[in-house]
A and B are shown apart, each in its own frame.
Chain A
Amino acid sequence: MSFIEFKKVSKTYGDQPVLDNINLSVKKGEFVTMVGASGCGKSTFLKMLSGQESASKGQCLLDGQPLTGEPSVDRGIVFQKYSVFPHLSVLDNVILGLEFAQSKLLARLFGKARAEAKEKAMNLLQRVGLHSAANKYPHELSGGMQQRLAIAQALIKEPKILLLDEPFGALDPGIRADMHQLILDLWQQTGTTIFMVTHDIGEGFYLGSRLLVFDKIRNDPMAPNAWGATITYDLKLNQANHGQLAKSGDDVQEHSLYNDIQHSVHATARVQNEAGISTGTGA
């Protein structure tokens, strides 16, 4: 039995189809990256995984059980921004997840319990390279450090799935490379299953063990909203090539796929743009 399974899933908002006929089966420990033009449903797909949205048709299963209709501890999440709590220090942001679990009434730990939680949190902060900033507030951190914090905050719950919604989209290129290394290290250490939405196709190839492309099979320029998107490519990526593809193109097959995907994603984006569809609002 597969770990996560989508069976004939579609999603419509009102009478507007967003996703059509999604069939997908993901094993434990895969790193699934998702690319596609804006408005092609990759964020909607992620929201179905997180429990923010439910499928209009079909079934979404986690470990054979239907996904619950609201966010839960099974599924950690990191957004592009606003992922951390501004009123808590770095350390408290990470401890918070433990406090929710261990102190139902006050959601606060004291004494020995807090000391233990603190030790666990500091370990995690060490791993993401934030231990020296433990007592700072998030607004005192750079964008990259805030994302490191958001990742640590999610990981302390040891989620079955980690959902990343364009987590590095707002970072400078150099910082982004560091973050790529960090997330790959964490993925290899924890063995958690990761789903990551990205705008950057190269990033999708580079990070993922599997790449999904969301695209519209049919595009009607006169009625651009008439058709939903689906998964047009589902690629197993060669992990041995990690990081090579986008730069050198050693792997001829993957390189031509990269070009194909880039071509079709850009074409869809152009059609949508000309049709005046507003995108990028999370639909």
Chain B
Amino acid sequence: MRRLINQRISRPLAFFLGTLPFIIAIVLYMAASAERLSENPNDKLLPAFSTMGDTLLRMATEENKRSGDILLWVDTLASLERLAMGVGISATIALLLGLTLGALPLFRANLSPFTTAISMVPPMALLPVLFIVFGLGEVSKVVLIVIGITPYLIRELQSRVSELPTEQWIKAQTLGANSWQLMLRMVLPQMLPRLVDALRLSMGAAWLFLIAAEAIASTEGLGYRIFLVRRYMAMDIILPYVAWISLLAIISDQLLKQLNRKLFPWYQPQ
């Protein structure tokens, strides 16, 4: 008998084992839901899949009576816009600072302790400050995402830069590169795919900050909707919304992964 650590799992078996937890979770939910609904047909806590499907269809196709908007799309668009702005701004700042801190000792000595300290501040604790400074509009939500993920991205890139082999730095200099040329042609292109990797890891945090900010002050957005309908215990809206958000997260992750493959065929993570 082989040791457990040496077991080899065939593809079909791996597929079966992989899908099993999903099936179990769905079956358990359906059983619990049916159980509660049989006792009280008006139960709101565990709505049947059919109810959730109907509600989702309504949210995605019918105009809201009061605002005339189709809520799911309005919410999705608002949230994705904030997310894209926050992540985009963070990536730009991180690229500039991460490269500078990683490659130039003078700036590293000057700014590294500061970024380390900033990254220790819990971003959520700053949310009230942001609301006071930037008001309750779009800016503070975007800024929260930026504050939340930029320090991590900077530190990540900085350490990726310092992981470039010494041989490369020497080689570039013997080819006549000055510091600027070296960063432009050697460091920057090698950091882009690593930035995308870092973004994939920080998307979870970005969603967290987005939903938190929307929950507190907003008029549309996925996070706003969930927290709004909580008052009516509308689980038939909340659960599909959560699933939708998760799906968006998975899609964005896969898009970034494909982007790396397409744009940087030379890049092979260790």
Contact = CB atoms under 8 A, between A and B. Distances in A.
Do the two chains belong together in a single complex? yes
Contacts of B268: 139
B181 A87 contact: no
Contacts of B264: 87
Interface string A70-83: 11110111010111
B266 A139 contact: yes
B167 to A, nearest CB: 4
Interface stretch (A100-108, A195-203, A241-249): A100-108
B184 A101 contact: no
Nearest to B267: A87
B80 interface: no
Interface string B239-270: 00000000000000000000000001111100
Contacts of B41: none
Interface string B105-126: 0000000000000000000000
Interface in B118-177: 165, 167-168, 170-177
> A84, A86, A157: which has the most chain B beta carbons within 10 Å?
A86
Main SS at interface, chain B = helix
Chain A: number of interface residues, binned into ranges: 20 to 34
B177 A107 contact: yes
B261 to A, nearest CB: 14
Given A87-B189, A139-B268, A81 B176 contact: no
B181 A52 contact: no
B168 A82 contact: yes
Assign chain B's interface to a size class. 20 to 34
A77 B189 contact: no
Contacts of B93: none
A71 B174 contact: yes
B176 A73 contact: yes
B175 A100 contact: yes
B48 interface: no
A97 interface: yes
A104 B181 contact: yes
Of B168, B170, B266, B267, the most chain A CB neighbours within 10 A belong to: B170
A266 B177 CA distance: 40
A108 B181 CA distance: 9
Given A73-B176, A137-B265, A137-B266, A100 B181 contact: yes
B170 to A, nearest CB: 5
A72 B174 CA distance: 5
B167 A75 contact: no
Contact of A85 (B168, B178, B265, B267): B168
Interface in B177-200: 177-178, 181, 184-186, 189-190
A105 to B, nearest CB: 8
Interface string B18-33: 0000000000000000
Contact of B174 (A50, A101, A108): A50
Contact of A100 (B168, B177, B190, B265): B177
Contacts of B165: 82
A93 B110 CA distance: 33
A157 B181 contact: no
A77 B174 contact: yes
The 10 closest A-B pairs by CB, nearest first: A71-B173, A82-B165, A82-B167, A97-B175, A107-B181, A100-B176, A137-B266, A73-B176, A79-B167, A100-B177
19 contacts: A50-B170, A73-B174, A73-B175, A73-B176, A75-B174, A76-B174, A84-B171, A85-B168, A85-B190, A87-B266, A87-B267, A96-B185, A99-B185, A100-B175, A106-B184, A107-B177, A107-B184, A137-B266, A157-B175
